[in-house]
Amino acid sequence: MFFGGTGDLAYRKLYPSLFNLYRKGNLRTHFAVVGTSRQAMDHEKFRAAVKKSLADSGNRVESKEATDFISHFYYQAHDVTDTAHYAVVKDLLDKLDKKYKLQGNRIFYLSMAPQFFGTIAQDLKTQGLMSDNKDAFNRLVIEKPFGRDYDSAKQLNDALSKSFEEDQIFRIDHYLGKEMIQNIEALRFGNTLVESLWNNRYIDNIQVTLSEKLGVEERASYYDNSGALRDMVQNHIMQIVSLLAMEQPVAFTDTDIRAEKVKALRSLRVYNVADAATNFVRGQYGSINDQPDYRHEDNVPNDSTTETFVAGKLLFDNYRWSGTPFYVRTGKMLADKFTRVDVVFKRPLVDIFAFPQSQSTPLAANVLTIFVEPHAGFSLQLNAKTNDTGFQTEPIKLDYLVDAEKSKETPEPYERLLHDVMKGDGTNFSSWPEVSYAWKFVDQIRRVWDLQEPNFPNYTPHSMGPAAAEELIQRDHREWIYRLNH
């Protein structure tokens, strides 16, 4: 069932994703979907809204398939803060359980504002909505954000743990549902060529960029309370980095993978005040032409110090990564919308082509790029001889791009993640230890930033952020692989 069943996320992402699972045969007859929210509405009106949501996401809805699917939807008006009223929802769930022979298996998806998560989890238990059939599952799906710092996240987690065990809680990080993020494991652990070089002896640095082209749009009031560090670094970037940094799991299971990610995050260096100030930079976008700066967007205070850009250097104090930094950056109103990882290998220790031929340009570094979006694929930059007389080298690229036909079939992150929840596979969700280590790291940066008034705005829209982000990496005699004129 979906709490917040009439919300933007449910209509735009969750129902269309469920329909895809249905079309592909992952849901058949034994299922019912209950939506709740405060709004009064009968089942038919709700089904009409679900039908519209499927149509809006490009589905043919006049088919028998769509009609059958929608017939499994039910609605119950319900205020999540009204404990006594949970009994009405329970009655509906029990009735549907019998009708569809669900044997007590229940998934509770909290697609609503996080301040309600604790109350709902508590009432689900105390009001008897969780099935008591020992062979059945009760699962709780939680949307982001999971807290706004370590203390609030812990408070929330403590509240959830009163009703649900850790293996019943699925904390969504939709980046973990993306094809190429899941491909990191295949690339690393399926290829000797890659994994044998995946360490500080051969890798000079790793760069993770999550770049957004748009400004805050209609999310301004939420975003201004959060900022790029909390909204993107604590969750998505930390998850990507832990997949890149972890050791090989014993087996390809959620427990083993999570254990390795946690170990990686435990060896992430938590900065002291001085290092936090040097290794992380922030930015806020200015205005361009008739486009307002961040401070003059709707619902943003004119003196907001919220960062719309972050870049930072992460260091792991472990045998594999000591001395190899991970540079990360993310921001709004940047040059383009894309997510990519650039793995920059060390140059050969000796460049034999530099002498005696006096090659004019030194050997380029090998770079393995993982394109996450908008296009999915890899690219490996190698050095080869130029196709002419004499002996010069030039960088060439081996590219693999998922073709357009295949891309169309790629499941949406929410489709994969809903499917994982149904299977009880927690691989692509954030576990509490991961979330807590990520917060402890991020809190330290935040603490330092909160002591100092930033000099905002400090970057031009459609650039790649403030000059400080360039200085951060150039100070280490390195360059961002993705540059504006790339």
Our CA angle for 264, 481, 404, nearest 5°, is 90
Question: Least distance from C-beta 226 to ligand NAD, angstroms?
Answer: 10
Task: Select from 49, 50, 80, 240 the one that contacts ligand NAD (CB under 6 A).
Answer: 80
SS3 343: strand
Those residues with Cβ within 8 angstroms of residue 104's Cβ, 6 or more apart along the chain or in another chain: 97, 131, 132, 133, 135, 136
Footprint on residues 114-133 left by ligand NAD (CB under 6 A): 114
Indicate the residue among 37 and 131 with the shorter CB distance to ligand NAD.
Answer: 37
Task: Select from 63, 81, 196, 225 the one that contacts ligand NAD (CB under 6 A).
Answer: 81
Stretch that binds ligand NAD, among 109-117, 131-139, 264-272, 339-347 (CB under 6 A): 109-117
Task: Choose the catalytic residue: 72, 78, 236, 419.
Answer: 236
Tracing tokens 């640095």 back to the chain, one arrives at 205
Indicate the residue among 10 and 268 with the shorter CB distance to ligand NAD.
Answer: 10
Task: Select from 44, 68, 79, 166 the one that contacts ligand NAD (CB under 6 A).
Answer: 79
Indicate the residue among 212 and 293 with the shorter CB distance to ligand NAD.
Answer: 212
Instruction: Tell me whether strands 2-3 and 33-37 are parallel, antiparallel or unpaired.
Output: parallel
CA distance 297 to 215: 9
Indicate the residue among 37 and 304 with the shorter CB distance to ligand NAD.
Answer: 37
Question: Least distance from C-beta 115 to ligand NAD, angstroms?
Answer: 9
Annotated binding site for NADP(+): 38, 79-80, 144
Indicate the residue among 9 and 364 with the shorter CB distance to ligand NAD.
Answer: 9
Query: Which residue from 440, 437, 422, 430 is spatially nearest to 160, judged by alpha carbons?
Result: 430
Whether residue 307 contacts residue 283, with contact meaning beta carbons closer than 8 Å, is answered with: yes
Indicate the residue among 9 and 382 with the shorter CB distance to ligand NAD.
Answer: 9
CA distance 366 to 452: 39
Footprint on residues 318-357 left by ligand NAD (CB under 6 A): none
Give, to the nearest 10 degrees, the angle between helix 117-126 and helix 150-161.
10
CA distance 384 to 399: 15
- C-alpha distances out from residue 261 to 168, 179, 427, 457, Å: 19, 19, 10, 36
Whether residue 256 contacts residue 248, with contact meaning beta carbons closer than 8 Å, is answered with: no
DSSP letter string, 396-452: EEEEEE--HHHHHHSPPHHHHHHHHHHHT--TTSB-HHHHHHHHHHHHHHHHHHHTS
Stretch that binds ligand NAD, among 51-59, 110-118, 233-241, 457-465 (CB under 6 A): 110-118
Stretch that binds ligand NAD, among 4-12, 236-244, 379-387, 401-409 (CB under 6 A): 4-12
Report the DSSP beta bridge partners of residue 382: 396
Residue nearest ligand NAD, CB atom distance: 7
- Would you call 30 a catalytic residue per the annotation? no
Question: Least distance from C-beta 446 to ligand NAD, angstroms?
Answer: 19
Task: Select from 6, 157, 163, 234 the one that contacts ligand NAD (CB under 6 A).
Answer: 6
Stretch that binds ligand NAD, among 106-114, 248-256, 309-317, 333-341 (CB under 6 A): 106-114
Question: Least distance from C-beta 50 to ligand NAD, angstroms?
Answer: 13
Q: Does 111 bind ligand NAD (CB under 6 A)?
A: yes
* Contact pattern from residue 143 through residue 172 relative to ligand NAD, giving x for each residue in contact according to CB under 6 A and a dash for the rest: xx----------------------------
Stretch that binds ligand NAD, among 50-58, 111-119, 146-154, 231-239 (CB under 6 A): 111-119
Stretch that binds ligand NAD, among 1-9, 22-30, 333-341, 444-452 (CB under 6 A): 1-9
Annotated binding site: 38, 79-80, 144, 174, 178, 212, 231, 332, 337
Whether residue 237 contacts residue 330, with contact meaning beta carbons closer than 8 Å, is answered with: yes
Indicate the residue among 4 and 177 with the shorter CB distance to ligand NAD.
Answer: 4
φ and ψ of 237, to 5 deg:
-65, -40
Q: Does 418 bind ligand NAD (CB under 6 A)?
A: no
Footprint on residues 27-66 left by ligand NAD (CB under 6 A): 37-39
Query: Which residue from 229, 200, 211, 174 is spatially nearest to 371, judged by alpha carbons?
Result: 211
φ and ψ of 299, to 5 deg:
65, 20
Q: Does 113 bind ligand NAD (CB under 6 A)?
A: yes
Our CA angle for 75, 76, 81, nearest 5°, is 140
What is the total count of residues that contact ligand NAD (CB under 6 A)? 20
Report the DSSP beta bridge partners of residue 2: 35, 109
Whether residue 76 contacts residue 96, with contact meaning beta carbons closer than 8 Å, is answered with: no
Those residues with Cβ within 8 angstroms of residue 289's Cβ, 6 or more apart along the chain or in another chain: none
Indicate the residue among 144 and 148 with the shorter CB distance to ligand NAD.
Answer: 144
Q: Where in the sequence numbering do the catalytic residues fall?
A: 236
Interface ranges with ligand NAD (CB under 6 A): 4-10, 37-39, 78-81, 111-114, 143-144
